[in-house]
Structure 1
Amino acid sequence: MTNAEYYDFGGVLVEFKQEQLKQYSLIMEEWAPKEASIAIAVGDQYIYYLARGHGLHIKEGQKFQTNSIADLVLRKGCRTEAVLVDTFSQAPYFGIGYPIEINGEKAALVVILPPHHSVPLTAPYKFLTGKQEDEWKPIPIEKVSHIESLQKKTWFYANKEPYKTSIPLKDLQLRLPDSFLRIHRSYIVNISFIDRIVRDFSSNLLVQLLDGTELPVSQSYMADVRSALGF
Structure 2
Amino acid sequence: MNNEFNSLPKDISQQFISMLKDWVPANSSIAIAAESSYIYFHSGHQNINLEVGQQVQSGSIAEQVLRTRKRTDAILDNSLFETPYYGIGYPINILDVPAALVVVLPSAFTEKKLEPFQFLTGRQEEEWNPVAIEKISHIESLQKKTWFYVEGEQFKTSITLKELQIRLPSSFIRIHRSYIVNIHFIKKMARDLTSNFIVTLKDGSELPVSQSYLNNLRNALEF
Q: Fold match, TM over 0.5? A: yes
RMSD: 3.2
Identity %: 48
Which structure shows the higher helix fraction? 2
Give the total of aligned pairs: 219
**Structure 2 contact 26–44 (Cα < 8 Å) conserved:** no
**Separation in 1, partners of 2:205, 2:79:** 25
2:193 equivalent in structure 1: 201
2:73 equivalent in structure 1: 82
**Structure 1 contact 81–94 (Cα < 8 Å) conserved:** no
Is 1:215 the equivalent of 2:215? no
**Structure 2 contact 9–39 (Cα < 8 Å) conserved:** no
**Which runs of 5 or more residues in structure 2 are unaligned?**
none
**Separation in 2, partners of 1:219, 1:50:** 26
TM-score, normalization by structure 1: 0.76
**Matching residue within 181, 193, 201 for 1:189:** 181
Deviations 1:34-81 (A, max 9, x none): 3x3332211222123344543564343333245643244445656x34
How far off its partner does 1:100 sit?
Answer: 4.4
**Separation in 2, partners of 1:189, 1:43:** 38
**Matching residue within 41, 45, 48 for 1:49:** 41
**Matching residue within 10, 13, 19 for 1:23:** 13
**Which runs of 5 or more residues in structure 1 are unaligned?**
1-7
Q: 1:140 to 1:104 in 2, by over 3 A?
A: closer
- SS of residue in 2 equivalent to 1:162: strand
**Structure 1 contact 154–167 (Cα < 8 Å) conserved:** yes
Is 1:226 the equivalent of 2:218? yes
Map 1:40-189 → 2, pairs under 5 A: 40-54=32-46, 57-65=49-57, 68-74=60-66, 80-86=71-77, 88=79, 92-113=84-105, 117=109, 121-189=113-181
TM-score, normalization by structure 2: 0.79
